[in-house]
Amino acid sequence: MKITDLRATPVTVPLEAPLRHANGAHWGRFVRTIVEVDTDEGITGLGELGGGGEAAQSAIDGLKRYLVGHDPFQLEALRFKIANPTASLYNNRNQLLAAIEFACLDICGKALDTPVYNLLGGKVRDRVPFASYLFFRFDHPGTGSGEIFSPEQLVEHARELKATHGFRCHKLKGGVFPPDHELACYRALAEAFPGDTFRFDPNSVFSVREAIRFGHAIEHLDNDYYEDPTWGLSGMRQVREAVGIPLATNTVVVNFEQLATNLRDPAVDVILLDTTFWGGVRACIKAAGICETFQQPISVHSSGELGIQLATMLHLGAVLPNLTFAADAHYHHLVDDVIVGGKFTYHDGSIAVPDGPGLGVSLDRERLAYYAEVFNKLGTYAYDRDPARPDWYPLIPNTSWAKPEHTDSASVPGLAELTDLPTKPYA
């Protein structure tokens, strides 16, 4: 079989309300790029890439001259074509490799009429458990609702998510407000859901000292782990020595070199495997095998996803015997998807691994065209913008924390344009 063409389609899919991240960033809507790989046997494979726009489209176009004629079963040769590990210092193309690998795995599964998990060792579980992944949010400028700011709002939101989806594990994305406000929110969650587990992730914005202080203040709670409290392996190592909670990362151990460094001189306990950051599902499985040998816990990370990427996370989660933590997904914050049948559904806090051939998802062409049109209208999304902290940089923490005040979404650049975005699935 040979690849005959590649196509990239950026799409914008609305979120229930804008999600606030650390580093002053926020997602008002999700911009993703759907990648399609055609073959001479009439089979098309699906991939997905974060972000979007001209850059993603031209990056995929740029691969055409190397990949047309390539056999999609030749996945190791594909890795060397796109992200040659000996040249990776100069040219980290893992995310592009991942998008093409997803599509090739999808093609291989479809060609053999079997789900991708059967190409990866076979599934050891039928469902993958997920955490609730809670965010501080702006209100949606179209509806005026959805704000998460206070401990009460956060707990109410978590209660709704738990009632709807069955989550028994809750992750709070922090680094948005001063640490004591977020501490109060995290403690309120732990108090509201006895018997559940919790994880806090301020996206590395704390100083080492602040990370240790915050860590001590949550040590007594039922924490799965404390995720990227500070920046860098050295910073994390200092926090790890002082705080009695396992540390997790999706920032300082995201490739095999860093994994080796961390095994020799541990800075982090739990490695969060991201099918995009690591360069595909197969790289994550390889990393999980190393972690199994060294008794290093793992989980599945979410860098934002629509149904295609979620399918890769489900197939990954299905085949990892050493997956002992719930996975993360942004998915339940989306109002729609571009796959046939609409969004995947959670049941008892988990999602069923798709059993169809390949990744087990297919594109809803009408929805794809509709959300591509939304992207064309609004363009890409500038994720890093916070007018409250114009002089804020992640490596100089705590110099200008915004006051823990309610912020009207109307005052935030880039959010007004969400007013006309649908807040219900496209029909």
Binding stretches for Mg ion (CB under 5 A): 201, 227, 250
Closest separation between CB of residue 202 and Mg ion, Å?
9
Q: How far apart are CA 36 and CA 149, in angstroms?
A: 39
Nearer to Mg ion, 109 or 175 (CB): 175
Q: Is 73 left (phi over 0), alpha (psi -120 to 50) or beta?
A: alpha
Closest separation between CB of residue 108 and Mg ion, Å?
31
Nearer to Mg ion, 50 or 115 (CB): 50
Q: Is 173 designated active site?
A: yes
Nearer to Mg ion, 21 or 367 (CB): 21
Closest separation between CB of residue 295 and Mg ion, Å?
22
Q: Which of 26, 173, 332, 333 is catalytic?
A: 173
Q: Which of 157, 301, 330, 332 is catalytic?
A: 301
Residues 6+ apart with CB under 8 A from 89: none
Q: Is 424 designated active site?
A: no
Closest separation between CB of residue 201 and Mg ion, Å?
4
Nearer to Mg ion, 10 or 174 (CB): 174
Closest separation between CB of residue 260 and Mg ion, Å?
21
Instruction: Say if CB 170 and CB 134 are below 8 A apart.
Output: yes
Tokens of 190: 């732990």
Tokens of 260: 């080796």
Nearer to Mg ion, 146 or 229 (CB): 229
Positions annotated as catalytic residues are 173, 301
